[in-house]
Amino acid sequence: MSAADEPPPDDLTDEPPPDDEFGSTEFDIDDDGEPEPVDLDATGTRQPDVPMEMPQQVIDGAVNRRLRKEADRIVAELYDARMTPELVQQMYDATLRALDAQLLLDVRAAEATAAAAEAAVRDPAKPFYRNGFDFFDQYLSDVYRRDVVNGGQKKWCLMWWKHSEAVVVVDALWRSWEKLRVDPGTGMSVWKKDHADHHMNVLFDPNGTFQDCSVKNGHRPLPPIPSDPIPAELLGEEVEQSPVTDA
């Protein structure tokens, strides 16, 4: 029998394969047969897939963190390269000199403050004017120029020093002026607003201490405020705490 007449082997028969031979294999076949679009940049390079819903601020934050990390790494490398033992010693010496200089300035300032305090105790500052009367004559009468002659809006007495209230006011203005004149900032403003304007307006009041006096008619003092005799036990009563002692 020739080879052509031999029957084919069993595995080459036309028998169909078993039904379950491809049963466990799945194939994904697109219905339309079109390839999925690819995101390419201007150069034709495929771009990574980025979810479209990712907020831009998230992307910016991630980029900034990476940039900071790289910057820290570069700074650390530069620091290690430049921070030689010689440079460390130079920085140490410069810091020491700066501390010594500041310490010297602090010591000199403390010495100056102590010397000024001792000088103030040894030689206390003297008032610019001798007393309230000198203060009025040389300063207050010139500062407070008002029309006290014509009309009745402001009253004045040429013998103001015979009025106890006027003497007290002028003395208080002198003392407050001497205290505040050494304040280079707002001293004079405080004196003018809180002391002088208030007290001088009281003296100028037509119904005040100079009510019956005038520049034209002269000094006519008002009588004291009337009062019945004060009981002796009230006049001699001791207070629990003196007004000149500390609280």
Could you tell me which of 227, 229, 210 has the C-alpha nearest to residue 218? 210
pLDDT at 8 over 80: no
pLDDT band at 238; cut points 50, 70, 90? confident
Phi-psi region of 33 (alpha: psi -120 to 50; beta: other; left: phi over 0): left
**Residue 72 to residue 65: CA distance in whole angstroms:** 11
**Residue 156 to residue 11: CA distance in whole angstroms:** 145
Residue 129 in contact with residue 135, Cβ under 8 Å?
A: yes
Q: What percent of the chain has pLDDT over 90?
A: 43
pLDDT band at 15; cut points 50, 70, 90? low
Top pLDDT among 149 and 20 is at 149
**Residue 72 to residue 87: CA distance in whole angstroms:** 21
DSSP string, 103-129: HHHHHHHHHHHHHHHHHHHHSPPPPSS
The SS3 assignment for 214 reads strand
pLDDT at 246 over 80: no
